Amino acid sequence: MEKILQNFITALRSSGLRISVSESIDAMGAAGLVGYGNRSVFKDSLAAALAKSQPEKEMFHNCFDSFFSPALFHENKAEIRKPSHMVSTDRDHNLTRLLLEKNNAELSVLIIASAQRTSVNKISFFTQKGLYIRRIMLQMGMEGLNTDISRRMLQGKFFNPMEGKKLKEAKTLLFENVRNHVEKQLSLFSGSTTRRLVENYLKDVKLSNLEMGDYAQMQVLIKKMVKRLNDLHSRRKKISTRGFLDIKKTLRTNMAYDGILVTPRWKKKKIDRPSLAVLCDVSRSVETVVRFMLLFLYGLNDSLVKMNSYIFCSNLVEVSHIFKKHEAGETLAILQKGDGIGIDYSGTDYGRAFKDFAEKPLGKVTNKTTVLILGDARNNYGDPETGVLKKIKEKSKRIIWLNPEPPPLWGTGDSEIKKYSPYCFSVKECSTLRHLQRVVDYLLKAD
């Protein structure tokens, strides 16, 4: 039963539940205490150990009902009715005997046992269904069944071809039941693999190519990526403040003990949160990309990043206060409409946006501030105002430019990115979530 519980926990994880090793041990202990005789008590005990929230409880109950539902051998409308002359013999294989006797209970047990021996719980892709169906059929004794069918198909003293035909129909019914069982296992155990494939696709697809149907999945993925970054860099900061012995302070403190190191003193290093000033081009050409970039950046925990945000098209306005008042998704909708913000959407003008930033917001920038610019640098052939960008560079720690266009398009048409590049610490292509994750990860490590 312990093996079955392990498989059930694997199925829960595939369904999306986050279950730790300690929680798995608690579930094993709970099952040992309450036993397996009462299904309802057994289910509630496992739920108490493994499901932590209401959505997780719903997922748990669905998975439990599916996992612990017996795999009964079902007969269809064309079920085989054994005629009086259709009997099993001592030469028949066990599987043939069960089919002829229509022993559905034993057939169900045989399917489950054969599936466990073939490790069907390791199935990950729908393309593996045929492989596992064949393995289970072979484990049950398909070769012996085929031999018995061949013998009955031959004209002879004891058998006639009709018996072979009926047995072939029984084999087809058996195949359908095995396929149903494999498909059920696929739905239980392949969820995590499918999600990983979808997530990897969404991480690498160009944000500008996303469809409306992908938005909900993208928001879930962004939350997961941001949580991973938060966990990683929060842990790094905690570790970095201990474990380094301060020799001078330790010797000075322990002079009263004749130099014996009774009370060690540790070095304390204050790690400031990275300070970001984010300038986002929200013109039509990049609005889809910037939408997800802002959602990603604002998902970062306040303990990791201090950020002031500005959007621009023809002019530049600060929107940090809007993010503080509303949820990120609601804020993005407000920014897209532009009502009451004071932004001019008449035409992209990077030069004017930089001048607007240099007038007042630049006063908030210090030598610890990283200026992050999100945009394609297409300036509609206006004055790029590179001198203003130089002034921003001198006031800030560095400028990092994230361009959603691929490098071969940089400098073509009205793109001014090559004129801006000399004043930037780094200019990177950033058209996917994976690009953005790498940049943010670099910023958090560097600061």
Q: What is the pLDDT of residues 378-427, one digit of tens each?
A: 999 999 999 999 999 999 999 999 998 889 999 899 999 999 999 999 99
pLDDT band at 330 (very low <50, low <70, confident <90, very high): confident
pLDDT of residue 80: 43
| Beta pairing, strands 306-312 & 316-318 | antiparallel
Average pLDDT over residues 141-153: 83
Distance between CA atoms of residues 345 and 338, nearest Å: 9
| Tokens encoding 429 | 């292509």
pTM of the complete model: 0.58
CB 25 within 8 A of CB 49: no
More confident residue, 378 or 36: 378
Q: Which of 59-63, 69-73, 271-275, 296-300 has the highest mean pLDDT?
A: 59-63
Contact 120, 182 (CB under 8 A): yes
Burial 323-360 (b: 16+ CB within 10 A, else e): beeeebeebbebbeeeeeeebeeeebbbbbbbbbbbee
Q: What percent of the chain has pLDDT over 70?
A: 82
Reported confidence tier of residue 77, pLDDT bands at 50, 70, 90? very low
Token code pair at residue 159: 């058998």
CB 174 within 8 A of CB 107: yes
Beta carbons of 114 and 105 less than 8 angstroms apart: no
pLDDT for residue 318 is more than 70: yes
- CB-CB neighbours of 35 under 10 Å: 11
d(CA 445, CA 274) in angstroms, rounded, equals 9
Report the range of poorest mean pLDDT among 14-23, 63-72, 304-313, 340-349: 63-72
| Type of residue numbered 419 | K
pLDDT at residue number 76: 54
Is residue 346 over pLDDT 70?
yes
CA pair distance 380, 347, nearest whole angstrom = 8
Rounded mean pLDDT, 189-193: 67
Give the model's pLDDT for residue 221.
Answer: 75
Single out the residue of 195, 202, 201, 18 nearest to residue 124, CA to CA. Answer: 195
Higher pLDDT, 184 or 398: 398
Q: How many CA atoms lie within 13 A of 61 on its CB side?
A: 8
Calculate the alpha carbon distances from 277 to 51, 167, 285, 396, 432 in Å: 41, 75, 22, 10, 21
Decide which of 100 and 280 is more confident.
280
331-336: Cβ within 8 A, 24+ apart: 331/298, 332/291, 332/294, 332/295, 335/282, 335/294, 335/311, 336/282, 336/287, 336/291
Domain 219-240+272-446 has CATH 2.60.40.10: no
pLDDT interval class at 357 (50, 70, 90): very high
Kindly state the tokens that stand for 354.
């930089």
43-57 tens-digit pLDDT: 888 888 888 888 788
Whether residue 377 has pLDDT greater than 80: yes
What would the mean pLDDT of 67-81 be, rounded to a whole number? 58
pLDDT of residue 340 exceeding 50, the answer is yes
As a whole number, mean pLDDT of residues 180-191 equals 79
Q: Which two tokens stand for residue 33?
A: 């205490």
Main-chain dihedrals φ then ψ at residue 54, nearest 5 degrees? -65, -45
Name the average pLDDT for the chain: 79
Nearest CA among 314, 384, 388 for reference residue 349:
314
Using DSSP, state whether 309 is helix, strand or coil.
strand
Cα-based distances in Å from 310 to 22, 340, 438: 45, 15, 22
